[in-house]
Structure 1
Amino acid sequence: MSETEKRIDASELDGLPPRQQVIAMVTIAISLTLALLDSAVANVALPMIAVDMHSGASTAIWVVNGYQLALAVCLLPFATLGEKHGYRTVYKAGLMLFTLSSLACAFSHSMLALTLSRVLQGVGAAGIMSVNTALVRYIVPRSRLGSAIGINAMVAGTAATLGPTVAGAILSVASWPWLFVINVPLGLVAMALARRNLPDNDRSMRSFDLAGALLGALSIGMLITSVESLGHGMKWQAVVAQLVICVVAGTLLIRKESRIALPQFPFDLLRIPVFALSLCTSVGAFAAQMMAYVALPFFLHGSLGYPPAMVGLLMTPWPLLTGLVAPIAGRLSDRVSPGLLGGIGLAALSTGLVCLAWMPETPRPFDIAWRMMLCGAGFGLFQSPNNRTIIGAAPKSRSGAASGMLGTARLTGQSLGTALVALALGALQLQGVLPGLLCAAVLAGCACVISLLRIRSQRG
């Protein structure tokens, strides 16, 4: 069969055979869990790593930042490579690099070696996450796309819930390198499953635009680092310099690619109203979520005096409810307007954040838990329908670019949320938690309005 015939077959195929669908979704779930767990476990282990490597906290933080930055700048270029060379090719390469760099992390004996290994891990994770949702579009029939994306969201929520617990359990019986060693057998299993069970996709015939990829990576990288630098109190001159580089690179990118039919940076997709609105909704929602995730532990431990283990337990209802509601919301989004579902979910999230900000002076665990549950359920109701809209609004041949933009919007929102709450805590100490939560509620409310605007856009 010729390459052209294969591309036509891939384009016309509406999902894999049932048994292969299950194996392919299990492969996606394992890989996604590895990529998301790895960030959480590294956060927990940072103090131990800093002591073991005789390094300061400001240096050790690059173990986390290096991973996140490499992930952010590689998402869109890898998505483009997936459209040209096949999503499963990029996915398998990313999974292999992630597994090998995990082994390198475990055997690192200096902070420089560990940081570089983490950067490689971030590149591998980008290979996984850039085309993750695009592959789902080829695994299941279009009528079940929302349900499948809901399962993905449930896996992500479960990984977020279990991350600190898994890290704590491993560190209670072993040293920090074992946090990375555990990735190796799971990565090998996922690689074996991916070899024969991931679907092919129709390919783009355009050449890879290296200049466009570099400009896109530079603009996104500088945007995220400038926001994080602002949150960490870096001198304003350095923040302004990063923003200037971001604006210059972004301007050059727009001038270079805005008139191209299939640009390296997906300006063609941003012209689709429902796609652009969904990305804005995602940035606002993830910024609100991250503000709460960062601020609440300071409040629960610093103001209320709960021990760290209890803080983790009190935070659990949020990701737990997100994981439970996400697949239900995904199934509903196959029949109900995702704009409406997302609007209701984000309204619930905003309400929950306001309730968290105005808790009693001495709240009982139940007072905290039900508010966390409301936030988690609202976020779960938003996430799956929103992801489905982002992927479904793009032409099938542009699923990779849509998947890459989905991940970029999430990382941008999380970086923005972290920076905003860092500013509040830096200026007001523990008194900054209340303004931080109220700011998060406002962001969720704005995202709710944008989500509801999609109802009219989708009808049009």
Structure 2
Amino acid sequence: MPLSLHMDGLPLPRRYGAIVAIALGISVAVLDGTIANVALPTIARQFQASPAESVWIINAYQLAIIVSLLSFSFLGDLLGYRRIYQAGLLLFSATSLLCAFSDSLTMLTCARILQGFGGAALMSVNTALIRIIYPQRYLGRGMAINALIVAVSSAAGPTVAAAILSVASWQWLFLINVPAGMLALLFAWRFLPENTQTSSARRFDILSAIMNALTFGLLLSALSGAAQGQDYRLILAELLALLVIGTLFIRRQLAMTSPLLPVDLLRIPVFSLSLCTSICSFLAQMLAMVSLPFFLQSVIGRSEVETGLLLTPWPLATMVLSPVAGRLLERFHAGLLGGIGLAIFAIGLFALALLPAAPGDGDIIWRMALCGAGFGLFQSPNNHTIISAAPRHRSGGASGMLGTARLLGQSSGAALVALMFNLFGAQGTHASLLLAGLFSTVAALFSLSRLRQPAGGTL
């Protein structure tokens, strides 16, 4: 259903239906980036794979999203956000079935790549849809809700996995996506608006899309290769190719009036600083979330269900603090809120790294809650800053950059977990948590540096 150019957001109650469509789709797409973490040791044993090899179940999904996210974002501006979102729901649901019926690590990894393309279509346009769903005066509320969904979904994977694994096998971690995806598609078909501001003058640049995929693909492949201990000559070749292709890609984007990668937005200081904050924070989150299940199960002997329950305080604390952060944003600078939140996050991560040799449940729970509280205080204000710093007519590009920053951090974090396990063996989780604490500290410094910057910018 088209949305009038003169209409400021959707009327009630249609707006509620549209938000349900966004919430369902984004929840399953983001959740699938971490939901398999708890089951990684079990899947590794079933397929006779090492912990470092099994991390590819996570990496493949994240890699597919990050190489295609900006392309889907551009297509959303060109063809309509609603169409891209619905296509993503169909692809994501269908490939979830392939994941569930995989009988080898290779097949599961390939299925996760296809599933990642569906997830990328969903993530690429969700923020742009929020901007046309909500009236301008309520946009902050919409962004807060969306940030809450993303933050909680990112951290809630172990909790959801524990609930599913308590009654079913790991295959149901993916089968559960099918009914959720179909329900989201029903709401999307009924309630999501068409963005009628698409421009027929814009053209999708296939060469830019290929160069974008190669740039991010080579970056993550080199990181993963180093983590997996691949031949250094192959890694150097990938880095050289990345330098050449990446340079040509950026130069091409700077010369275009409608670039696939909106590098011109990085000229806005608060925008670029917020992206750096996002990358470092999600890198820290992924280092912790991927490595902790191995410690809880392999080192201190907890079951899959117990592992998920012990990780639950993290998303619960995030759920509590995210709405509070949205309200505090009306009174305090986002850079200050983010800096405080990320400092709390770093303290929680270092506390986890210093767990006693035989920790009790209470030792683990309060540290998890501290991490979740800090992350919840940071995430919503940071996302709001990224979107509001860009000019309104560039919201699609800002949405794509926001998602790319998050996925780049998560993918790099998962790759670094594999490196920590290869370098430190049984102490891999300890090393991962220390590294996560350092990245969170860096993110806090990036956030605080925004205090000297204006809230937005112009191009």
State the TM-score, normalized to the length of structure 1.
0.88
Residue number among 122, 128, 134 corresponding to 2:122 in the alignment: 128
Q: Deviations over 1:68-127 (max 9, x none)?
A: 221111100000111111111111111111122223444556666554433221111111
TM-superposed deviation, 1:440: 2.1
Tell me how far 1:132 sits from its aligned partner. 1.1
Deviation digits for residues 267-311 of structure 1 (CA, Å, limit 9, x no counterpart): 121111111111000111111222222343444445545444433
Q: 2:350 aligns with which of 335, 350, 354?
A: 354
Aligned: 1:420 with 2:410: no
From the superposition, tell whether residues 162 and 183 of structure 1 become closer, same or farther in structure 2 (CA, over 3 Å): same
Matches within 5 A, 1:203-218: 203-204=198-199, 205-218=201-214
Q: Quick one: distance in 1 between partners of 2:427 and 2:99?
A: 38
State whether residues 149 and 327 of structure 1, in contact with CA within 8 Å, keep that contact through their aligned partners in structure 2: no
Q: Which is richer in helix?
A: 1
Aligned amino acid, residue 457 of structure 1: Q
1:134-153 aligned within 5 A:
134-153=128-147
CA gap of 1:141–1:408, structure 2 versus 1, over 3 A, is same
Q: Is the 8 A contact 1:278 1:389 kept in 2?
A: yes
Instruction: Give the superposition deviation at 1:404.
Output: 1.4
Unaligned runs of 5+ in 2: none
Match of 2:334 in 1: 338
Check conservation: 2:350, 2:437, Cα contact below 8 A: yes
Q: SS at the partner of 1:15? A: coil
| Uncovered stretches (5+) of structure 1, i.e. residues with no partner | none
- 1:102 is the counterpart of 2:96: yes
Q: TM-score, normalised by structure 2?
A: 0.89
Counterpart residue number, 1:278? 274
| Residue identity matched to 1:274 | V
Q: Which residue of 1 aligns with 2:439?
A: 443
Per the alignment, residue 30 of structure 2 pairs with: 36
C-alpha distance 377-179 of structure 1, shift in aligned 2 (>3 A): closer
Name the SS of the counterpart of 2:278 in structure 1: helix
Instruction: Report if aligned partners of 2:35, 2:160 keep a CA contact under 8 Å in 1.
Output: yes
Task: Please report how far the alpha carbon of residue 451 of structure 1 lies from its aligned counterpart in structure 2 after TM superposition.
Answer: 0.8
Q: Does 1:163 align with 2:163?
A: no
* Matched positions, count: 453
Q: How does 1:317-336 map to 2 (within 5 A)?
A: 317-336=313-332
Once residues 170 and 431 of structure 2 are traced to their aligned partners in structure 1, the CA distance between those partners, rounded to angstroms, is 36
Distance in 1 (alpha carbons) for counterparts of 2:44 and 2:288? 26
- Residue 392 to residue 229, structure 1, CA distance change in 2 (3 Å): same
- CA RMSD, aligned part only? 2.8
Do the aligned residues in 1 keep the contact of 2:163 with 2:305 (CA within 8 Å)? no
User: Using a 3 Å threshold, how does the CA distance of structure 1 residues 246 and 140 change in structure 2: closer, same or farther?
Assistant: same
Tell me, yes or no, if the aligned pair for 1:146 and 1:332 is still in contact at 8 Å. no
User: Does 2:367 align with 1:371?
Assistant: yes
Distance apart, 1:453 and its partner CA: 1.7
Q: Is the 8 A contact 1:157 1:322 kept in 2?
A: yes
Distance 1:337 1:13, change over 3 A: farther
Deviation, structure 1 residue 340: 1.5
Kindly indicate whether residue 193 of structure 2 is the aligned counterpart of residue 199 of structure 1.
Answer: yes
> Partners of 2:68 and 2:185 in 1: how far apart?
21
- Could you say which residue in structure 1 is the equivalent of 2:384? 388
CA apart distance, 1:168: 4.5
Q: Which residues in structure 2 correspond to 1:296-335 (within 5 Å)?
A: 296-335=292-331
Give CA-to-partner distance per residue, 1:179-219, whole Å, 9 cap, x none: 43332222222111111311233224311111111101110
Q: 3-state SS of the aligned residue for 1:131?
A: helix
Counterparts of 2:349 and 2:55, CA distance in 1? 28
**CA apart distance, 1:171:** 4.6
Please state if 1:93 is matched with 2:87.
yes
CA contact (8 A) 1:298 1:430 kept: no
1:267 aligned onto 2:266: no
* Structure 2 contact 29–119 (Cα < 8 Å) conserved: yes
CA deviation after TM superposition for structure 1 residue 320, in Å: 1.7
Specify whether residues 306 and 146 from structure 1 end up closer, same or farther in structure 2 by C-alpha distance, changes over 3 A only. same
The answer on 1:84 being equivalent to 2:58 is no
Give the residue type in structure 1 aligned to 2:86.
K
Distance 1:453 1:43 in 2: 33
Superposed displacement of residue 249, structure 1: 1.3
CA shift in 2, pair 1:46/1:252, >3 Å = same
